[in-house]
Amino acid sequence: MLEQAVRGVAGDRAAQVRAGEDDVAVLVLEVGGLDRQARDALEQAVREAALEAGAREVRVAMTAEKRARVIIAVGSGKGGVGKSTLAANLAVAMARLGRKVGLVDADIYGPSQPRLMATEGRRPEAEGQKLIPVPSPFGVPMLSMGHLIKAGQAVAWRGPMLGKALEQLIDAHWGDAELLVVDLPPGTGDVQLTMLSKYKPVGAVIVSTPQDLALMDAARAIGLFEQGQVPIIGIVENMAGYICPHCGEASDPFGMGGAETTAMAMGLPFLGRVPFDLAIRRESDAGHPPAAGDGAPAEAFISIARAVLAWLDTPR
C-alpha cells in the first residue's frame, strides 16, 4: 500500500520505498535534473502520500544519481507495415505529452527516420567517443545511420558491425532524455538480438496491418521479445480503414480488427488503430510527423502514446 501510494506520485523517481519499524517510511528519491522548487514539490507530495498510506513518520533521502534510460522497442515481423512512421509519431506524441524523449533509428539497412523527422543531411557532432544526437524540429533528439552515411549509400554489413552500429546510436550523449524509442528493423535478426542481449528494453510495441499475413509475422516478433523476457506493451493496428476523400465512403483494403483480435487471443493489450489516411503519407514524406499537428491522425498517435505511457507508469 505504501509503495503503491508513493510510486503513484513519484513514478520511477522513487528509487526506494521501504516501511521500517514503528511505521516509519524510508524513501529514496532520484532528483537528477530537477531544480530546487521541483525537488521540494516532489518531496512534499511523496511525504503526504506516505502519511495518507498510514506512515507515522517519513524520512526522505534524495540522490542525483543518473537513472538508466527507459528503452521502448518498436518492432514488427515484416517490413511495409508502417513501423518507422509509428515510432517517429510515438516519440513526437510522447514529447507533446510532456516526456523527454529521444529517437533511435536502429533500422541500419533502411534508415528512414531522417526523412520522417526533417533531419536529412544533418550529421551528428561527437564528444569524446560518443555521438551527440541531432535535434529535430519537434522536440525529439535523434540518431540514425542515415545521419552517418551519404544519401542513397547502401549498408552491407554483417552481424558484428551491425551490433557496433547499434551501440554507437544508443550509447550517445542523450542529455535529459528519459525515454528512448528505438525503431528496430523488421524481422528477428542481428540488431534485435543485440538489443535484447545488451540493452534490455522495458517493453516492446508491435506494429501490424490487419491482414492475416502481417499478423503471422507479428506473432514471430512477439515470440522473440518474449524469449528475451521483454514484456509486450501492446499491439498497434496500422492502415486500419480508408475514407475516400471524394465520396466519403469507408473501405478496408487491408481488413479491419485483425490486430485487435490477435491481441485478445494472445492476452496482450491493444493500443489502438492508425487510419489508412493519405494525409499521413503526405505529411510523413514532407518530414512533418502527423503527431505534431492536429486532426484525426494526430489524435490516433497521441491516444497510442497515452496508452504506452500509462503502461510505463503502472507499478510492476
pLDDT per residue as tens digits for the range 79-118 = 778 899 999 999 999 999 999 999 999 987 778 999 999 9
Residue 18 and residue 157 share a domain = no
Average pLDDT of the residues in 183-206: 86
Residue 302 and residue 227 share a domain = yes
Return the CATH number at 295: 3.40.50.300
Q: What is the pLDDT, as a whole number, of residue 30?
A: 81
Q: What is the pLDDT, as a whole number, of residue 316?
A: 66
* Residue environment code for 281-310, b if the CB has 16+ CB neighbours within 10 A, otherwise e: eebbeebbbbbbeeeebbebbbebbebbbe
Q: How far is CA 9 from the centre of its chain?
A: 22
Residue 23 and residue 87 share a domain = no
Q: What is the pLDDT, as a whole number, of residue 189?
A: 76
Return the CATH number at 53: 3.30.70
Q: With 60 as the cut, is the pLDDT of residue 156 above it? A: no
Identify which has the larger pLDDT, 214 or 75. Answer: 75
Q: How far is CA 105 from the centre of its chain?
A: 12
Residue 68 CB partners (closer than 8 Å, separation 6+): none
Weakest-pLDDT range from 6-20, 86-100, 178-192, 224-238: 6-20
Residue 27 CB partners (closer than 8 Å, separation 6+): 6, 14, 16, 17, 18, 46, 50, 58, 59, 60, 61
- Give the structural domain span for 115: 70-313
Q: What is the pLDDT, as a whole number, of residue 155?
A: 63
What does the mean pLDDT of the chain come to?
A: 86
Strands (E), the chain: 14-19, 24-30, 57-63, 70-75, 101-105, 125-127, 130-132, 142-144, 179-183, 203-208, 232-237, 242-243, 250-251, 270-273
Residue 27 and residue 56 share a domain = yes
Burial of 205 by CB count in 10 Å (0-12 exposed, 13-18 middle, 19+ buried)? buried
Alpha-carbon distance values, 30 to 2, 68, 160 (Å): 18, 11, 36
Residue 234 and residue 120 share a domain = yes
Q: What is the pLDDT of residues 32-63, one digit of tens each?
A: 767 788 889 999 999 999 999 888 899 888 87
Residue % of the chain over a pLDDT of 70: 87
Average pLDDT of the residues in 110-129: 91
State how far the Cα of 239 lies from the Cα of 12, in Å rounded to an integer.
Answer: 34
DSSP-derived letter for residue 134 is B
Q: Could you say which of 22, 39, 63 is where a domain stops?
A: 63
The x, y and z cell numbers of residue 245, run together, are 476523400
pLDDT band at 254 (very low <50, low <70, confident <90, very high): low
State how far the Cα of 192 lies from the Cα of 195, in Å rounded to an integer.
Answer: 5
Identify which has the larger pLDDT, 170 or 243. Answer: 170
Beta bridge partners of 58: 25
State how far the Cα of 195 lies from the Cα of 182, in Å rounded to an integer.
Answer: 10
Residue 77 and residue 57 share a domain = no
Average pLDDT of the residues in 108-136: 91
Number of domains in the chain: 2
Average pLDDT of the residues in 54-74: 82
Residue 102 and residue 40 share a domain = no
Q: With 80 as the cut, is the pLDDT of residue 240 above it? A: no
Residue 192 and residue 85 share a domain = yes
Residue 76 and residue 35 share a domain = no
Q: With 90 as the cut, is the pLDDT of residue 165 above it? A: no
Average pLDDT of the residues in 148-174: 77
Of residues 209, 226, 216, the one with CA closest to residue 73: 226
State how far the Cα of 82 lies from the Cα of 103, in Å rounded to an integer.
Answer: 16
Residue 299 and residue 237 share a domain = yes
Average pLDDT of the residues in 232-254: 76
* Residue recorded with cell 554483417: 158
Q: What is the pLDDT, as a whole number, of residue 214?
A: 65
DSSP-derived letter for residue 100 is -
Identify which has the larger pLDDT, 140 or 279. Answer: 140
Residue 146 and residue 42 share a domain = no
Residue 285 and residue 173 share a domain = yes
Q: Could you say which of 41, 63, 85 is where a domain stops?
A: 63
